[in-house]
Homo-oligomer: A and B are copies of this chain.
């Protein structure tokens, strides 16, 4: 495994997303390749865990002590509906996102009292990003996708929540989304 070494040796920028003094957004995702459960390799199980859980922990650990000292700051973990249900076609993604949610809940239960706002964001939709437009092709309909600007705005609004009325787990979806759970 040697995650410790791996993370020490690799450039920080890989796992950390944008780090500001006031906000950390952990917005990393691996390949989203379909794969049935019995075809998962040990290597792929390792990779998804490194990206979704170990990387998120490494990022949080970098900024959390300073935030706790100053009693301010927000940490957002970008997640998905996959954090709430397993998948016959994308089991790795589900395993990673379940773990990320457990991490996020554990961190906030332990450190919210220091004044740090930690949020697990379940994006229940596809994003209107270039690679999604390619995938959709002729079926591309912007109204059915979340605009990255709008997602950023909703993160920002959550960051502005006063600390006696915080959300720790939110879901974001377009008004057009047909959702089951």
A137 at interface (Cβ–Cβ under 8 A)? no
| B38 contacts A65, C-beta separation under 8 Å | yes
The smallest beta-carbon distance between A42 and chain B, in angstroms, is 4
Do A37 and B167 form a contact, CB below 8 Å, given A42-B4, A86-B101, A106-B87? no
| A160 contacts B162, C-beta separation under 8 Å | no
A157 at interface (Cβ–Cβ under 8 A)? yes
Chain B residue at minimal CB-CB distance from A147: B164
* Contact residues in B for A170 (Cβ distance below 8 Å): 167, 170
| B106 contacts A86, C-beta separation under 8 Å | yes
Within residues 123 to 181 of chain A, which ones have a CB less than 8 A from any CB in chain B?
128, 143, 145-147, 149-151, 153-154, 157-158, 160-181
A76 at interface (Cβ–Cβ under 8 A)? no
| A173 contacts B181, C-beta separation under 8 Å | no
- 1/0 per position for A70-109, CB-CB distance to B under 8 A? 0000000000000011111001001101110111111111
CA distance A37 to B158 in the complex (A): 23
| B180 contacts A162, C-beta separation under 8 Å | no
A residues adjacent to B (C-beta < 8 A): 1-4, 7, 36-38, 40-43, 45-46, 49-50, 53-54, 57-58, 61, 64-65, 84-88, 91, 94-95, 97-99, 101-113, 115, 117, 128, 143, 145-147, 149-151, 153-154, 157-158, 160-181
Q: Give 19 pairs: A residue, B residue, CB < 8 Å, sorted on A.
A: A1-B1, A1-B2, A37-B110, A85-B105, A85-B181, A86-B105, A88-B109, A112-B175, A113-B176, A147-B162, A147-B165, A150-B161, A150-B164, A157-B157, A157-B160, A163-B174, A164-B174, A166-B174, A180-B180
